[in-house]
């Protein structure tokens, strides 16, 4: 297969398996999505979705959020981990949204990444999922699969994002990044990987990856 044929095979397979791509993190607007994505760092969507109804039941907008202390926020979000950093970030960014953006979440990378505890990946998710602006957030699943499929050298997430944006049509980015995440969780996990179930890697995967898998399976 040529590189373009591999890309087309990947897109078609993902569309067949995941024609619908619901957003995994429960939210109702850009602000609650921003907070949910921030909370998901080094945590699971399932874990975050257990906490956000409690947090948003008390404060689902920046004006109510800053009425809470950092300590009160930390007590609520403690189960998702990294609560000291995340609670300071949530309180700090909420105040900035009020002071600089009339309580609204901005829709530019520059503005989002200037907020406390908001990195490029979080900003990309908000751009894609809250504002439907083409973005390609790279999480551990996408980073792993892009390497397994031979679409990136796997050195870092910055390079993986550049390669993904270069290979895949821009109008597919927002849906495709979710499809790859779903695929990674079900068919190509980091642990307990079964190559027989991983149709994309089995068909187009990097030869060294498959060779290492087979060697370790013996």
Q: What is the pLDDT of residue 71?
A: 98
- Residue 45: both structure tokens together: 């969507």
Catalytic pick among 60, 121, 163, 198:
121
Residue 174 has pLDDT above 80, yes or no: yes
Q: Which residue has the tokens 């850009």?
A: 30
Q: What is the mean pLDDT of residues 153-161?
A: 91
Q: Which of 129-153 are b and which e, b meaning 16 or more Cβ less than 10 Å from the residue's Cβ?
A: bbbeeebbbbbebbbbbbbbbbbbe
Question: Average pLDDT, stretch 92-96?
Answer: 98
Q: What's the CATH architecture for 30-131?
A: Orthogonal Bundle (1.10)
Is 64 catalytic? The answer is no
The question of whether 100 is a catalytic residue gets the answer: no
What pLDDT is attached to residue 214?
87
Look at residue 137 in the predicted model and tell me its pLDDT: 96
- Over the chain, what is the mean pLDDT? 96
Q: Exactly one of 139, 162, 165, 175 is catalytic; name it.
A: 139
**What pLDDT is recorded for position 140?**
87
Structure tokens at 61: 């907008």
Q: pTM of the full predicted structure?
A: 0.91
Q: Mean pLDDT, to the nearest integer, of 105-116?
A: 97
Q: Following DSSP, what letter does each residue of 94-142 receive, concatenated?
A: HHHHHHHHTTPPP-SHHHHHTSTT--HHHHHHHHHHHH--------HHH
Q: If you ran DSSP here, which 8-state letter would residue 67 be given? A: T
195-204 average pLDDT score: 96
Kindly state the average pLDDT of the residues 199-211.
95
Cα torsion 154, 161, 176, 124: sign: positive
Whether the per-residue pLDDT at 35 is higher than 90: the answer is yes
Percent of the chain, pLDDT > 70? 100
Q: Are 122 and 86 in contact (CB under 8 A)?
A: no
Give me the percent of the chain exceeding a pLDDT of 90.
94
Give 175's contacts (C-beta < 8 A, 6+ positions apart). Answer: 21
Kindly state the average pLDDT of the residues 133-148. 95
Q: Name the helix (H) or strand (E) containing 69.
A: none
**Domain 3-20+137-217 in this protein, CATH class:** mainly alpha
Kindly list the domain boundaries of the chain, sorted by start residue.
Answer: 3-20+137-217, 30-131
Whether residue 154 is predicted with pLDDT greater than 80 in this model: the reply is no
């Amino acid at each position: 297969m040529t590189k373009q044929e591999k890309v087309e095979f990947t897109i078609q397979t993902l569309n067949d398996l995941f024609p619908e791509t619901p957003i995994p993190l429960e939210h109702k607007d850009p602000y609650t999505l921003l907070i949910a994505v921030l909370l998901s760092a080094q945590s699971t969507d399932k874990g975050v979705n257990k906490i956000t109804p409690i947090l948003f039941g008390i404060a689902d907008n920046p004006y109510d959020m800053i009425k809470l202390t950092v300590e009160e926020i930390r007590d609520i979000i403690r189960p998702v981990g990294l609560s000291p950093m995340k609670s300071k970030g949530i309180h700090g960014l909420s105040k900035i949204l009020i002071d600089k953006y009339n309580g609204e979440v901005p829709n530019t990378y520059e503005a989002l990444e200037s907020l406390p505890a908001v990195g490029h990946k979080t900003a990309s998710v908000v751009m894609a999922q809250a504002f439907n602006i083409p973005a390609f957030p790279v999480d551990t699943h996408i980073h792993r699969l892009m390497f397994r499929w031979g679409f990136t050298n796997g050195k870092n997430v910055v390079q993986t994002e550049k390669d993904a944006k270069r290979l895949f049509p821009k109008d597919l980015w927002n849906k495709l990044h979710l499809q790859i995440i779903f695929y990674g969780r079900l068919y190509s996990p980091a642990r307990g990987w079964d190559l027989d179930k991983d149709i994309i890697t089995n068909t187009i995967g990097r030869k060294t990856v498959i060779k290492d898998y087979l060697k370790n399976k013996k």
